[in-house]
Structure 1
Amino acid sequence: MFILTLAPVFIVLLTFISIIYGTKEISMITIWEAIVHFDGSNIDHQIVRTGRIPRAIAVLLVGAFLAVAGSIMQGITRNYLASPSLMGVNDGSAFVITIAIVFLPGLSNLHMILLSMVGSALGAGLVFGFGTIIRNGLSPVRLAIIGTVIGTFLSSIATAIAMYHQVSQTVSAWYNTKVQAVDMDMLMLSLPIGVIGLILAMISARAITITSLGEDVAVGLGQKTKAVKIVSMMAVVCLTGTAVALVGKIAFVGLVIPHITRFIVGVDYRVIIPCSAVIGAFFLSFCDLISRYINFPYETPIGVVTAIIGVPFFLYLIRRRGGEKA
């Protein structure tokens, strides 16, 4: 396909630019030497190997993970406002990480990733649980409101706990986007878990397409809808949990990218999921570059850039489609 063949070229180009340019000017020769002949005593080599390369890779992965997670959520719920940031998934992850930092200090990076995934499942479970018991709670706008309320509640409780135990700065390092300080060990641990999420997403892609036609249609075609939703949400948990553990909470990627992808490629999730991954990686990498130069030499948080794009898009969806199902 056009997107799957052309977009990776732009991704490589953006990654190349991301590694080359930064607050400190580093020559191409030095960058190449840092990659092939690393010298730990050379500050420029340290910046390239421990700062710019992990950051470039992490932004690509997180963009892909969040975009695919959003696509899955919108497909299985038939809710065009479903996304990790609006459905409490990100906030649940950050909440559990806060509890772990306060009450279980010294946990390994792997444990933190696993707990982040548990938090993602907790947040999604609370939102969809309340959506089920509230009248018309699963309609797009009401579910978004429930997600916002639950997410705000979890964030507030986590903030209060962190302040009481005087670990606000440590927790803030997890809550806030931290693409400028990606931990290489965390990146290496996140990669296989995220890949598992992508594999689960691709395995479920055909079933998600059928489910997106409606519950009655899916059951009529012999679809085991509960099994599909369980596997799909496992993918969402893997993808979102690793994304939050790796760089913190980033909003609106999982909302905006699936809509753009469906507009371009249609409604078949066997195509939507891989294309969402590619477009999401490109989108967040591009936002990362913008965040560096809005107020150069100071960096603007990447979440500000995604919000500048995502909030108008969110309002457009509500105005254009109201409370209807996807």
Structure 2
Amino acid sequence: MAYGKRAIWISSMLVLGIILLIIVSLVSGPFFVPIPKVLDVLLHDDGSKARTVVWNLRFPRALLAVLIGASLAVAGAMMQCLTKNPMAEPKIMGVSAGAAAMVVLIEYFFAGLPLLFFSPLVFLGAAVGGATVYSLSLKRGSLSPVRLTLAGVAVSAFLHAITVGILVLLGQDAAAVYAWLAGGLNGLTWRHVSLIAPWSLAGLLLSIMIASKMDLLELGDDTAKGLGVHVGILKTVMAVIIIILAGSAVSVSGVIGFIGLIIPHIVRKMVGVNYTYIVPVSALCGGMLLLTADLLARLVAQPIELPVGVFTAAIGCPYFLYLIRKQGEWNA
């Protein structure tokens, strides 16, 4: 089967899977809601407990799982293209470190207030971290993948040191920060959907629009220039999209690992190396993975909710280790 047809078929299956998982998410939990009742409360506000649970709690959470998973997966694919490094992920841009530093600063100065209330400020911290890494990676006005990686490591280490220092000062008052750092979707509402949806959807749409240019970038900067690509502008746009996607995601979910790292590799196995297919399929695959992980986090040990990052690692890490070994890179 040609990669184009395969990508369409896989995308259709992923969309169907996401819809089914959303239905399971709306039904399942300590308070079980039958499917007919779910449909009824989605269409009519009857003021019942089922309406509150399904519409106010479970539905926005499911939508956010899809949006955040898609954003992290596409940001990871673009990061690997930008740096030409298969081990790259959005964290290299300093986005997660910037968000974490902002979270501990908020907790230090506004102790006792819910961190989710400050999501826009966390988004700002993520953007500042990413913008700092990007500015340091420029060399004579052009983006250097090597400098980007080194700047990302240095800035992230600096911000991590600030985060750890403030955590020590917070002492026993840092419980909320540790919960955020563990990553999760608990407590997210329609307010958070409205906060990140415009950014995530814009970033995903832009990434799809430039995917064909990313294919040319894979051929090398000189070849891409010869084919009419403005390489410097393209790399800048990619960096901005990565910051938007990853920053909006971590601003509400905290740090969720592995999605941006492993999903692009899984997708390449399915649809080949053409970013025209990798980008949209990564979005769907990332959304489905995080939705699955969130369901497991909610249901495995109910009524206790486990960190969703535990399940993204449990799902992603074995596959990634298998992939490295199969490609003969284990002894590198």
Q: TM-score scaled by structure 2?
A: 0.82
- Mapped partners of 1:24, 1:149: distance in 2: 47
**More displaced, 311-320 or 5-14?**
311-320
Query: How many equivalent pairs are there?
Result: 315
Secondary structure of the structure 2 residue equivalent to 1:24: coil
Determine the structure 1 residue equivalent to 2:141.
Answer: none
Please show how residues 122-141 of structure 1 align to structure 2 within 5 Å. Answer: 122=131, 124-125=133-134, 129=137, 138=146
Determine if contact 2:213/2:229 at 8 Å carries over to the other structure: yes
Q: RMSD between aligned alpha carbons?
A: 3.4
Query: Does residue 91 of structure 1 match 2:97?
Result: yes
- Mapped partners of 1:149, 1:293: distance in 2: 39
**More displaced, 274-283 or 210-219?**
210-219
Query: Does residue 253 of structure 1 match 2:269?
Result: no
Determine the structure 1 residue equivalent to 2:14.
Answer: 7
Query: Does residue 154 of structure 1 match 2:154?
Result: no
Secondary structure of the structure 2 residue equivalent to 1:179: coil
Distance 1:119-1:174 versus aligned 2 partners, 3 A rule? farther
Residues 280-314 of structure 1 deviation map (CA, whole Å, 9 limit, x = unaligned): 11121122222334334433211011112333344
Query: Does residue 234 of structure 1 match 2:243?
Result: no
Distance 1:199-1:282 versus aligned 2 partners, 3 A rule? same
Please show how residues 94-243 of structure 1 align to structure 2 within 5 Å. Answer: 94-103=100-109, 111-112=120-121, 114-122=123-131, 124-125=133-134, 129=137, 138=146, 143=149, 151=156, 153-165=158-170, 168-243=174-249
Distance 1:139-1:266 versus aligned 2 partners, 3 A rule? farther
Give structure 1 stretches of 5+ with no counterpart: 131-135
The counterpart of 2:35, out of the listed 18, 22, 28, is 28
Residues 101-159 of structure 1 deviation map (CA, whole Å, 9 limit, x = unaligned): 54578897573254144245157449x849xxxxx99399xx5x986776465334214
Q: How far off is 1:165 after superposition?
A: 4.8
Secondary structure of the structure 1 residue equivalent to 2:219: coil
The counterpart of 2:280, out of the listed 249, 274, 277, is 274
- Mapped partners of 2:45, 2:259: distance in 1: 34
Determine the structure 2 residue equivalent to 1:19.
Answer: 26
Q: TM-score scaled by structure 1?
A: 0.83
The counterpart of 1:65, out of the listed 64, 71, 81, is 71
Determine if contact 2:76/2:261 at 8 Å carries over to the other structure: yes
**More displaced, 86-95 or 201-210?**
86-95
Distance 1:120-1:258 versus aligned 2 partners, 3 A rule? farther
Distance 1:29-1:303 versus aligned 2 partners, 3 A rule? same
Determine if contact 1:120/1:240 at 8 Å carries over to the other structure: no
Specify the code of the residue in structure 2 equivalent to 1:7: L
Secondary structure of the structure 1 residue equivalent to 2:255: coil
Secondary structure of the structure 2 residue equivalent to 1:181: coil
Specify the code of the residue in structure 1 equivalent to 2:67: L
Distance 1:120-1:71 versus aligned 2 partners, 3 A rule? farther
Q: How far off is 1:183 after superposition?
A: 2.9
Give structure 2 stretches of 5+ with no counterpart: 1-7, 139-143
Specify the code of the residue in structure 1 equivalent to 2:169: Y
State the percentage of identical aligned residues: 33
The counterpart of 2:300, out of the listed 294, 303, 321, is 294
